[in-house]
Structure 1
């Protein structure tokens, strides 16, 4: 196991931190999660339920252990600090300054554990004008300009299909930096305080807009750029039965094959300078037939055009795998666990594992030997 023997103290809640520590646990780390007494992590109360906790909590915290501690109580705080003293990694997700006031900040931990990798995940980073602002995924996307680049017919941005800042700006940068910091610590003995800002890390998601701006091309105009609706080669077109086809035929070979398959007249093959007219012509042809027709037309063709599927269709196609080899088990249920992005060669064999009940924080060392 890649992280066998690595101890992770998880003080985070909800999604970004718990997903990060789930990936570390999948790679073999021993993850101990500290939650509030009573109801624990707020996500435990979400619906629907799997056993005594929410399905969301169960999916994100498989294979961890959870203990209740009141971080404002000096005795509990000191016991959690003792856990941090022998941890390799500490993950926290409070607003800047909160863990310091609790006596569990980086300096308090580092003074006892110089090699600790201490990871702080926040919306806007530890410093700066926005550091203490409250926010959720949608707020970070809105503030960074990402919501503005694709708009509907009324000019309004649609809701994203999933959380993006939490995962792409929080979870994955946290995991990458934790692993890099562990690598450096193993070589030098030096720990680190990692400042994971979800909004700042969203800049990697705007790499193309960033490059265009740096080259003097300004910032994106909503719905006008190559990947935001400005090109007929990269759009979503409605079908005759109210479904949609996602076209991403950017390269010339894909575009020409698409044109052939949908019967696009030759005068529309060169879309440069007539993008709106070409998009209208493509839309007219796609709208002439139902989704099943286009699915059969595109099946087996190297064309980069796909009928927008439902989740049941994605499961039937094997693209979504809710019943994989890893199992999430508990009182009265045995379901597929969240498929892990940790490659099988880097993690233990698939197993049936439960999610943690919230137990009293014991006196003494809770780490596995």
Structure 2
């Protein structure tokens, strides 16, 4: 089967989440990915929970890749990498700025070996700027850019977000998008380039709604004030009688009025512009009179952007997601067992067969590199 990235060779010099997930997406679109691991292997191979001979998270993020152990600090390892670089299309690295230069594989040096190479660097703060050398993780990046401050939860019980927004939304997705753009540009010019992907940069994109208010009014919304961060009764989480949560996203008037009608909201409170807090309190009181299971058929019939907050287990068994084939692809473990592969936002026609089964790469699987 010919896929969009068939024939594209990718060197993956990354670990943890942003880079491995980016190269996984490239692999799923047909690229051949060689994961370069240090002696002893990627730390994530030992992360818990262990599954079928390796860390489960490592398996999910590295399905279908090949692995090759290289000590880039040794002369032999460096020589082998130089040979590999002569015949590769994309290199993805995730070291702090300057580390690849110290190893002798910064972009300027690599470009001399392969001027057609797309060289993608993923870091927290980018290759330049006074924060470039700062250590950090996802929570630091969303905290540093003002995104977390839009809704940190109550000051006495702040909430850690359930998604790694910076890693995936600021690292993986921009890396994949820009690698594909760079490959297209190379088709036109024949030249490679260096991509500087800073996870923090994209966090301002995620704050688009707050930025619109800030630029237009010269005032940033306070924590929880923005309509999309808890400041509106129309976009809110409401506890039901049994403790289940109702996700209300009835933003548009026709949805909101339908919702207000089915719960029996006092008509004087339907216009939530008058006193949003009073409307929110009244809605909360009404929702709390029934269990989530009792509300579910009511909201389903009303079709007004109201859903029950599901557990992950419930979501995995939802017929809709099963019918969409999100879990049809399989990961084969080192010991031969299988589990569902990580669902990815890549159109099915660009991936392999829906029932394909790809393995976790064993260490140094590729004897010659490829």
Is structure 2 residue 130 aligned with structure 1 residue 126?
no
- Show the counterpart of 2:26: 24
- Show the counterpart of 1:34: 36
- Show the counterpart of 2:352: 348
**TM-score, with length taken from structure 2:** 0.95
CA–CA separation in structure 1 for the residues paired with 2:83 and 2:170: 30
- Show the counterpart of 2:304: 303
> 1:145, CA displacement in angstroms?
1.1
- Show the counterpart of 1:339: 343
Secondary structure, in 3 states, of the residue corresponding to 1:300?
helix
Secondary structure, in 3 states, of the residue corresponding to 2:16?
coil
- Show the counterpart of 1:13: 15
Q: Would the aligned equivalents of 1:6 and 1:29 in 2 still touch at CA under 8 Å? A: yes
Q: Deviations over 1:53-72 (max 9, x none)?
A: 11100000001001111111
Q: Would the aligned equivalents of 1:311 and 1:320 in 2 still touch at CA under 8 Å? A: no
Q: Would the aligned equivalents of 1:147 and 1:157 in 2 still touch at CA under 8 Å? A: no
> 1:320, CA displacement in angstroms?
5.0
Q: Deviations over 1:152-208 (max 9, x none)?
A: 344654100121100000000000000000000011111110000000121110111
Trace 1:97-176 onto structure 2 (pairs within 5 A): 97-154=98-155, 157-176=158-177
- Show the counterpart of 1:327: 330
> 1:90, CA displacement in angstroms?
0.2
Deviates more, 1:1-10 or 1:320-329: 320-329
Q: Deviations over 1:207-244 (max 9, x none)?
A: 11122222234212111111111111111111111111
Q: Deviations over 1:239-283 (max 9, x none)?
A: 111111111111000001111111101111111130000000000
CA–CA separation in structure 1 for the residues paired with 2:241 and 2:275: 25
CA–CA separation in structure 1 for the residues paired with 2:15 and 2:105: 16
CA shift in 2, pair 1:319/1:141, >3 Å? farther
Secondary structure, in 3 states, of the residue corresponding to 2:160?
coil
- Show the counterpart of 1:197: 198
Alignment: residue pair count: 364
CA–CA separation in structure 2 for the residues paired with 1:32 and 1:279: 53
CA–CA separation in structure 2 for the residues paired with 1:319 and 1:93: 36
Secondary structure, in 3 states, of the residue corresponding to 1:283?
helix
Secondary structure, in 3 states, of the residue corresponding to 2:115?
coil
CA–CA separation in structure 2 for the residues paired with 1:45 and 1:357: 13
- Show the counterpart of 2:64: 63
Q: Would the aligned equivalents of 1:27 and 1:348 in 2 still touch at CA under 8 Å? A: yes
**TM-score, with length taken from structure 1:** 0.95
> 1:339, CA displacement in angstroms?
1.6
Trace 1:200-219 onto structure 2 (pairs within 5 A): 200-219=201-220
Q: Would the aligned equivalents of 1:10 and 1:92 in 2 still touch at CA under 8 Å? A: yes
- Show the counterpart of 1:182: 183
Structure 2: 5+ residue stretches without partners: none
- What RMSD over aligned residues (CA atoms) do the two structures have, in Å? 1.5
Trace 1:230-249 onto structure 2 (pairs within 5 A): 230-249=231-250
Structure 1: 5+ residue stretches without partners: none
> 1:150, CA displacement in angstroms?
1.0
Is structure 2 residue 82 aligned with structure 1 residue 90?
no
- Show the counterpart of 2:4: 2
